[in-house]
């Protein structure tokens, strides 16, 4: 089953794998004696697999957080809030995506590789959302610019294009006109459109809290996975933060399902379903 999930976006035809069938009206279906855990896991990925089989695009965000809503300690330590099952889930999402997007703060703090080391499946293109080149001093050292494991795109505002190309080379730069809107506010739909025009249609926003919150606030996410771990961090770096409402009745109450991943609870929020 995991093989099916990891290979769903590669050249292997999922239809060829016994026990999983496609029906036009119902999407991917499991057939045969799958145990409850396998059925549950399949249910978690089915919405993404169905959309991609139908030729559709999606944007999914994910955050691993403590019970008190932090994604890292105050010094930026986030390895590892979640357990190994959630780490595997994270890599599975990467394998299902054309591109994984992270904010500059995450690159600066974690020096991530953003590959699919824990599952089979291709590495996504690594997109560093950095409108004004805050990562300029890290181009020579950060894994994503130098390890050659997967393509990297430094996503910046077009006014910084020349500087970015001089530092990282044209193949690693995606300069977007108007990425920084009035008052410096990021225009994330411009970023999504620019990535789609490069054929990157299945997008995974992996962090940190600021970046996922911005995508959520600008209604650029179709789904959000929140993996809640049983620990309390205290005055750490916050997860979701966005301008809310005065009245509880006006709050976002998305359609949701909960899955157990080891000792973590994974909330799968469908932000497009009517509620
Ligand atoms: N638990 C999780 O799921 C998860 C996932 C990813 C990352 N993390 C953790 O989240 C933290 C980073 O997230 P975040 O929300 O602070 O930022 P982020 O969303 O990764 O990036 C957004 C902001 O990074 C800022 N930034 C802050 N410090 C920076 C630096 N030293 N160099 C370059 N840019 C910097 C930029 O600020 P300006 O707007 O001011 O330019 C940018 O807007 C890290 O501690 C990382 O370990 C956790």
Q: Give yes or no for a contact between 1 and 31, defined as CB atoms under 8 angstroms apart.
A: no
| Candidate of 60, 62, 65, 104 to mutate for ligand 1, largest count of ligand atoms within 8 Å of Cβ | 104
Rg (CA), the chain: 19
Cα 69 to middle of ligand 1, angstroms: 15
Establish whether residue 205 lines the binding site of ligand 1, counting it when its CB lies within 6 angstroms of any ligand atom.
Answer: no
Atom of ligand 1 nearest to the CA of 76: 45
Query: Which residue has its alpha carbon closest to ligand 1 atom 29?
Result: 105
Atom of ligand 1 nearest to the CA of 214: 19
pLDDT for 263: 97
pLDDT for 18: 62
pLDDT in tens, 55-97: 889 999 999 999 999 999 999 999 999 999 999 999 999 999 9
Cα 8 to middle of ligand 1, angstroms: 31
Long-range Cβ contacts of 30-35 (<8 Å, 24+ apart): 30/1, 34/1
Cα 98 to middle of ligand 1, angstroms: 22
pLDDT for 187: 98
Residues with pLDDT less than 70, the chain: 1-18, 275
Cα 100 to middle of ligand 1, angstroms: 15
pLDDT for 12: 41
Atom of ligand 1 nearest to the CA of 107: 20
pLDDT for 5: 53
Q: How many C-beta neighbours within 10 Å does residue 166 have?
A: 12
pLDDT in tens, 90-121: 999 999 999 999 999 999 999 999 999 999 88
The pTM is what? 0.94
pLDDT for 32: 80
Q: How many C-beta neighbours within 10 Å does residue 188 have?
A: 23
pLDDT for 257: 96
pLDDT for 275: 64
Query: Which residue has its alpha carbon closest to ligand 1 atom 41?
Result: 134
Establish whether residue 220 lines the binding site of ligand 1, counting it when its CB lies within 6 angstroms of any ligand atom.
Answer: no
pLDDT for 22: 86
Establish whether residue 104 lines the binding site of ligand 1, counting it when its CB lies within 6 angstroms of any ligand atom.
Answer: yes
Residue 232: Cβ-neighbour burial (10 angstroms; 0-12, 13-18, 19+):
exposed
Rounded Cα distance between 271 and 275, Å, is 9
């Amino acid at each position: 089953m995991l093989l099916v999930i990891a290979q769903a976006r590669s050249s292997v035809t999922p239809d060829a794998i016994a026990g999983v069938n496609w029906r036009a009206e119902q999407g991917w279906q499991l057939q045969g004696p799958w145990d409850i855990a396998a059925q549950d896991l399949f249910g978690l990925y089915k919405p993404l697999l169905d959309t991609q089989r139908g030729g559709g695009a999606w944007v999914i965000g994910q955050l691993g957080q403590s019970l008190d809503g932090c994604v890292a300690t105050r010094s930026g330590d986030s390895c590892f809030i979640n357990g190994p099952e959630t780490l595997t889930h994270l890599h599975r999402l990467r394998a299902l995506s054309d591109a994984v997007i992270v904010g500059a703060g995450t690159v600066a703090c974690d020096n991530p590789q953003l590959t699919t080391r824990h599952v089979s499946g291709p590495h996504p293109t690594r997109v560093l959302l950095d409108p004004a080149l805050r990562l300029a001093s890290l181009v020579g050292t950060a894994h994503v610019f130098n390890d050659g494991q997967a393509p990297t795109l430094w996503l910046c505002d077009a006014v910084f294009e020349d500087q970015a190309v001089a530092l990282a080379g044209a193949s690693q730069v995606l300069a977007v006109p108007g990425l920084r809107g009035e008052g410096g506010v990021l225009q994330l739909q411009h970023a999504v459109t620019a990535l789609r025009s490069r054929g990157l249609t299945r997008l995974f926003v992996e962090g940190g809290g600021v970046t996922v919150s911005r995508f959520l606030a600008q209604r650029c996410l179709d789904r959000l996975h929140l993996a809640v771990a049983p620990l309390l961090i205290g005055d750490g770096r916050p997860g979701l933060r966005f301008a809310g409402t005065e009245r509880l009745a006006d709050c976002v109450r998305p359609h949701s399902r909960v899955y157990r991943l080891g000792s973590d609870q994974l909330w799968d929020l469908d932000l497009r379903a009517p509620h």
